[in-house]
Amino acid sequence: MGAVTATPDLKKLTEGPHVHRNLSTPQLIEAAIARGEGRLASNGALVALTGARTGRSPRDKFTVEDPQTKDRVDWGKVNQPFPPEKFQALLDRVVQHMAERDLYVMDLYAGADPAYRLPIQIVCEYAWHALFVKQLFVRPDLTALVRHSPEFTVIAAPEFESIPERDGTRSGTFILADFTRRIILIGGTKYAGEMKKSIFGVMNYLLPSRDVFPMHCSANIGPDGDTALFFGLSGTGKTTLSADPLRHLIGDDEHGWGAGGIFNFEGGCYAKCVDLSEEKEPQIYHAIRFGSVLENVVIDSKTGEPDYSDIRHTENTRAAYPIEFIANAVIPGVGGHPGNVLFLAADAFGVLPPIARLSPEQAMYHFLSGYTAKLAGTEAGLGSEPVPEFSACFGSPFLPLAPRVYAEMLGRRLREHKAACWLVNTGWTGGAFGIGQRMSLKHTRAIVHAALDGRLAKAEFITEHAFGLSIPTTCPDVPGEMLNPRNAWADKNAYDAQARLLASKFDENFRKFDAPEEVRAAGPRPPASAIR
C-alpha cells in the first residue's frame, strides 16, 4: 500500500476497561437489555428498533478515492468518491466519540472457506449490534480466535452524527469505505444491515483479484451433492425457492465461487419477516429463537408475542440468526461447483417464459441486466403499469468494480464447469399484472426441481421469438401450454406489443454497459412486425 494520512490509534477502540470483547450470546443479550437497547420476545429473540433509518442508506454511502482506488473503482451513483483527508478527520472524531463509551468488539470471519476467508473485526457502540454481527458472520473457534488478526475493521457508531457542511457527507448518516486503510466507518444509523452489506462490498472488491467470483445469491445442495445457485432481486422468490425441504441450504444471500467450488460469505441468515408464518415458511419461523435478533418487529406489550403482520415501523422487518438454526443447513457453508445457475425474475409484464435455458452469452446479458419488475402500488409514485427494475449482477449497490468484471467471471465459470444457466419467471403469465395471473408456486417448484435433477435437459427445446430464448416444450407436472408465454395470452397481438415494450426497456438499460458485442447481441430482438 502507498503512503496514507496517519490513522488514529485504533487501540482506543479495542483495548481498555470500556471494551467488552467477544462476549457470549447470553452476555450480549443481557447487556443489550440492561442498556435499554431491546427486549426479549416470547420466542427468546432480542427485539431492537432502528429509529428513523429502517433500511440501507445508499445515498449516504461513499468510497475513499485515493491512488489505490482511483482507477479501479467504478465511480458513479453507487460508488461516490470521498476525500481521504475528510475521511481522516471524521475518523478522528468517531474514535474520540467511541473511546468515551462502553464498546463491544467481535473478532469474526467473512467466508466459510478457509482458503479465502477474510478476518474482520467489528467495533460496536451497541451490544445488540455486536450480537447481530456475531450471528451473521463466521464465528472462529477458540484456536482460531487466539491467532485472529483482522484485515478489515468496521466501526459502527450509530449515536454519532456527522455535520455535512464540515464533514463532506450528505446528511448526518454516513457509510464510508476506505479500502487502503481497510476501515469501514458507519455513523448516524442504527440499521444493522449496513455492517453486513459493507463487508459484502469489501469481498466484492477484494476477491476478483484472487480469482474468486463474488455473488449476491442463495445456494443449496441436493441429496446427490449437486450445488445450485439462485440469483434474484427482492420479491422474485430467491429465499423461498432455495429454502427447499428436499435440499440443504448453503446460504441465503452472499457467496463466492472459487477454485474448489461455492462457499458462503456468512455464518448466518438475514431474513425478511413481513407476514412471516409457520405455515408459509416453517424453517425461518422456527429459526427465530434465543440468540436471534428481530429488527423493527412489533411485539405485544403484554405477551411479548411477535406480530409479523404489523409494519408500523417498516415493511422491512428482519430476523438475524446463525445458519445452524436452519434444520437442513450445510455446516460449514461450502459446496462443489454448481451444475445449475438460476436467474429469478418476477416479470409483471407477463412476457418472459416460466423457464428458459441460456447460453453463456445470454447468461452474461441477463446477469448484467439483473431484471425484475415492481408492481403497481408497492412503492409511492408508481402508477397502474408495471415498472421494470434493473440491478446489475443482481446486486448493483454492492459492486465497487465495473459490472463487466463480475459478468466475465460468470461467463468463464459457466464455460469452465459446463454449468447450465436458467432464466425463471416467477411473475405473471397469460397477461401483464392486473390481467394475467401470478405463476403458481407449485408449478415454479416443479420447474425448478426438473431443472435441478436433470429431467428438463432431456426435453425438446424451441426458440421463442420475442427474446430469442430456448424454452422446453414439455416439463413434468407443468401444463405444456404455459411454457410458451405467447400461447398463454388470449390476445397474441397484445403479447407481441408487450414483448416489444419490455425489450425496449432492456435495450435502454443495457446501453450503459461496456460489454462484448457477442453479449450485447444476446439480448432481446423481437421482430419489427411484433407490434401491429
Which residues are known catalytic residues?
56, 197, 216, 234, 238-239, 253, 318
3-state secondary structure of 353: coil
Total count of residues recorded for the chain: 532
Strands 293-295, 318-322: pairing kind? antiparallel
Inter-residue contact 317 to 274 (CB < 8 Å) = yes
CA distance 422 to 138: 30
Largest Cα separation within the chain, whole Å, is 76
User: What residues pair up with 178 in beta bridges, in sequence order?
Assistant: 183
User: Measuring CA to CA, which residue among 180, 204, 206 is closest to residue 255?
Assistant: 204
Separation of alpha carbons 227 and 225, rounded Å? 6
- CB contact at 8 A, 398 and 216: yes
Backbone angles phi, psi at 390, to 5 degrees: -120, 130
> How many helices (H) and strands (E) would you count in the chain?
15, 31
Provide the grid cell at 226.
449437486
Query: In angstroms, rounded to a whole number, what is the distance separating the alpha carbons of residues 128 and 391?
Result: 31
The C-alpha R_g of the chain, in whole angstroms, comes to 23
- Identify which of 384, 372, 355 has the alpha carbon closest to the alpha carbon of residue 505: 372
Which H or E run contains 335?
Answer: strand 334-335
Count Cβ neighbours within 10 Å for each residue of 146-182 and write b for 16 or more, e otherwise. Answer: eeeebebbbbbbbebbbeeeebbbeebbbbbbbbbbb
Task: Please compute, for residue 28, the number of CA atoms within 13 A of its CA located in the half-sphere on the CB side.
Answer: 29
Give dist(CA 14, CA 12) in Å, integer. 6
Q: Under a CB-based contact definition with an 8 Å cutoff, are residues 465 and 258 in contact?
A: no
Residue among 29, 135, 45, 122 nearest 37 (CA)? 29
- CA dist 474 and 270 (Å) reads 37
Helix (H) or strand (E) holding 241: helix 238-242
